[in-house]
Each structure stands twice: as C-alpha cells, then as structure tokens.
C-alpha cells in the first residue's frame, strides 16, 4: 500500500476508530483505483511451478502474437452433453483421443493444457519484479481467464478434428428436471470403460445415477434425490439470482498486477463452480480430491471442460436476469488484463480481457 501515503490524509486519521475505519475503506478504494492490469506472462519463461507444471521447453512456435479473433469462423453452438447425438458423441471421443495422443512436447496435449491451468491457478507464474505469483482464482479474473482457456481448448480440438464447427458440450448440472439426465455426471464421460472422456480419479459417489450435490464438501451424501433437487435449485437461486445482483458480487473482488492472491471470489466461483469440482474429485486419492478437486490436476479430467462450458453459459444467462447491474466490471484493471495461451497451432497468443467478453469475436 505504498501509494496510500501520498494522499496526505493519513496522519490525522490514525488516532481514532473512525479514522481507522476510513483508513481501511480508503485503502480498499486505493486498491481498486490505483493498480495496474495484469500483463501477459511469458510462457514458459516465467514459470516456477513446484508441481512440474511448466510448459515444454524450448518453445518452438512463432513469437507470441496478439489475439485478433477470426470472424470467418462459423458460430459455434454449445449443446447440453446429455442431449448429444451419436455422431456428436463420436466426434467428441475422437477429439479427446487425438488430444491424448499428442506428444508431451506439444503444449496442446491434454496434460499440457492441464499444466497451463495448474500454472495460472496454482502459483506457478512469477513475474521477474514481483513478490507474489500470479493468481487466477478467488477474484474477478476467474471467469474471463477460464472462458478463454476453454476457447483455445475448443479450437485445439477443432483443429485436430479438422472441423471448425466443433463445439464443446456443456454439463447442464443446474437443470434439476427429473425427466432428464442433466444433473448427473455425464454418462458419456463416465460409464464406458474404454472412453477417452473418462478419468480414473473420481469420487465413487459421483457416478451415475447419483445426482450432483451443488452444496457438496466432497465425498458422499445421504440426501435423497428429491432433497438434492430442492437444495440444488436453492443453491442456484441464491448464488446466481438473489446473491449476485452486482458485478462485484458475481465476479468477485478486484485483482491487480502484483496483488498477493485473490481478495475474494464471486458467489458463482465458490459454489456451485467449486463444489462441483470437489464433488467429482476422489476424496480417497493420494492427494485428496484429485483430479477435479485439485487446482494442479483438475484440467486433466475431460469433464473439467464440459463443467466450465456450463460456467460460461451461466455467466451469459446471468447478464440477462433482471437488474441494471448485471454487467461485467468496467475498471481498466479488469478490462486490460492480458493472458497468454497456446492456440490451435501451438503458438503463443496474448489475449486482452476486453476481447474475452466480446462473444461475437469469439464466435
Ligand atoms: Cu481454474 Cu474450475 O477451475
């Protein structure tokens, strides 16, 4: 908070409780008005991951370029995973087969995509001049960073499939209807033992036909299906509708370049986003809650991407709910933050956050 001393009002205020309160409030204000947006990290050079998540070296792609979007791409429509038809399922299977077959040196491989998520989400990126690592969870960058991560995941699959119409499906866990199989772990991701969509580290109580538990703390529950449907509906209503009428509540607290971790997640990030992660992860794994419930490994499970596809969808729906403030934050530290990813050609590409909320640009 070095900058705060420059306001000149500090000395008069520190002597009384009211002063202390004003000090705290103005420090908070300083934090949201005086930061710098996060600059694009240089992958893999800024990597200090202790979990072995660094990107393959040496980097053999083109120099990092700024993302432009491609308006010639077809608009891709994401569909609910429980409603995919045979040929859509076969295409998805083929995509993950090809992804899993990419060599370890290819930054697009499934394990390297999981590593990229690990780097950004689990303290693996240090800027040379900063004390604290970059953190992408627990604040307002959570939703946009993950949207773009999914964008490139989808484009990589499309490239491997040679099919630009490919769209990720979404796992519709918010749909509590008893006549559909929407709020169970998608069957195509879980029941076929030879599927490329499976992951072996999952909670045994998260297998179909058990319903998802949006208030889960991980592991099993003894609630009945009817109780879960009611509770899940209540979770959705409080977290997305009544509890998140403003950008700050929905997206989370501000985060600027160099901040020491996230200052608070939005309502949506913890629950249901985080609870679904925990519910799928195996509580008995060597590292508890691997894979889905652990930042370092969650994106190894293909269900991660269909889960986040639903997160993206609900973000879009949230903006259409009644209320004048259901919009993205407008502060420059939000809009001008920049992230580096690998595109479908394994080249590094830098995306400005304002592009991530421009859904027509993303097709
Ligand atoms: Cu970086 Cu769903 O997590």
Q: Which of 82, 153, 213, 273 is catalytic?
A: 273
What pLDDT is stored for residue 138 in this prediction?
A: 95
Q: Ligand 1, residue 277: give the atom nearest the CA.
A: 2
Measured CA to CA, the distance from residue 255 to residue 37 in angstroms comes to 8
Say which residue the tokens 């490919």 belong to. 166
Residue 26 confidence (pLDDT) above 60: no
Q: Ligand 1, residue 121: give the atom nearest the CA.
A: 1
Query: What is the distance in A from the centroid of ligand 1 to the CA of 136?
Result: 9
Which domains does the chain show, CATH number per domain?
A: 35-362 (1.10.1280.10)
How would you class 249 by CB atoms within 10 Å of its CB: exposed for 0-12, middle for 13-18, buried for 19 or more?
A: middle
> pTM of the entire structure?
0.90
Average pLDDT, the chain: 90
Residue 8 confidence (pLDDT) above 70: no
Query: What is the distance in A from the centroid of ligand 1 to the CA of 121?
Result: 7
Structure tokens at 6: 């420059």
Is residue 112 helix, strand or coil?
A: helix
Give the rounded percent of residues in the chain with a pLDDT score beyond 70: 91
Q: Tens digits of per-residue pLDDT, 134-177? A: 999 999 999 999 999 999 999 999 999 999 999 999 999 999 99
Q: Is residue 331 annotated as a catalytic residue, yes or no?
A: no
Could you tell me the pLDDT band of residue 34, with boundaries at 50, 70 and 90? low
Q: Which of 139, 277, 289, 304 is catalytic?
A: 277
Q: Is residue 142 annotated as a catalytic residue, yes or no?
A: no
Ligand 1 cavity residues, CB under 6 Å: 117, 121, 137, 146, 273, 277, 298, 308
CA distances from 43 to 60, 161, 317 (A): 12, 26, 33
Catalogue the E-assigned strands of the chain: 65-66, 338-342, 348-352
Could you tell me the pLDDT band of residue 122, with boundaries at 50, 70 and 90? confident
């Amino acid at each position: 908070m070095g900058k705060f001393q420059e306001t000149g009002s500090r000395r008069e205020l520190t002597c009384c409780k009211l002063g202390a309160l004003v000090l705290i409030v103005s420090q908070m204000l300083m934090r949201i008005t005086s930061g710098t947006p996060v600059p694009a990290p240089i992958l893999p050079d800024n990597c200090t991951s202790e979990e072995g998540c660094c990107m393959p070296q040496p980097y053999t792609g083109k120099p990092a370029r700024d993302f432009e979007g491609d308006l010639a791409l077809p608009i891709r429509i994401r569909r609910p995973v429980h409603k995919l038809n045979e040929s859509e399922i076969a295409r998805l299977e083929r995509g993950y087969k090809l992804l899993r077959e990419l060599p370890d040196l290819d930054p697009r491989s499934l394990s390297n995509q999981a590593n990229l998520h690990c780097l950004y989400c689990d303290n693996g990126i240090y800027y040379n001049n900063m004390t604290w690592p970059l953190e992408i969870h627990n604040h307002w960058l959570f939703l946009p960073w993950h949207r773009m991560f999914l964008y490139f995941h989808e484009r990589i699959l499309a490239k491997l499939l040679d099919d630009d119409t490919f769209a990720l499906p979404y796992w519709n866990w918010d749909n509590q209807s008893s006549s559909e199989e929407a709020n169970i772990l998608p069957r195509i991701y879980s029941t076929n033992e030879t599927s490329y969509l499976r992951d072996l580290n999952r909670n045994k109580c998260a297998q179909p036909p058990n319903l998802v538990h949006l208030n889960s703390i991980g592991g099993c529950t003894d609630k009945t299906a009817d109780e879960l449907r009611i509770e899940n509906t209540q979770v959705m209503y409080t977290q997305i509708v009544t509890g998140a009428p403003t950008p700050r509540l929905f997206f989370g607290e501000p985060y600027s370049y160099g901040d020491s971790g996230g200052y608070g997640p939005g309502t949506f990030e913890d629950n249901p986003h985080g609870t679904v992660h925990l519910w799928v992860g195996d509580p008995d794994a060597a590292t508890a809650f691997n894979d889905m419930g652990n930042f370092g490994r969650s994106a190894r499970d293909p269900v991660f991407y269909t889960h986040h596809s639903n997160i993206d969808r609900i973000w879009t729906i949230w903006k259409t709910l009644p209320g004048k403030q259901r919009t993205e934050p407008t502060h420059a530290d939000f809009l001008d933050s920049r992230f580096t990813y690998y595109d479908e050609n394994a080249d590094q590409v830098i995306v400005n956050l304002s592009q991530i909320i421009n859904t027509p640009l993303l097709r």
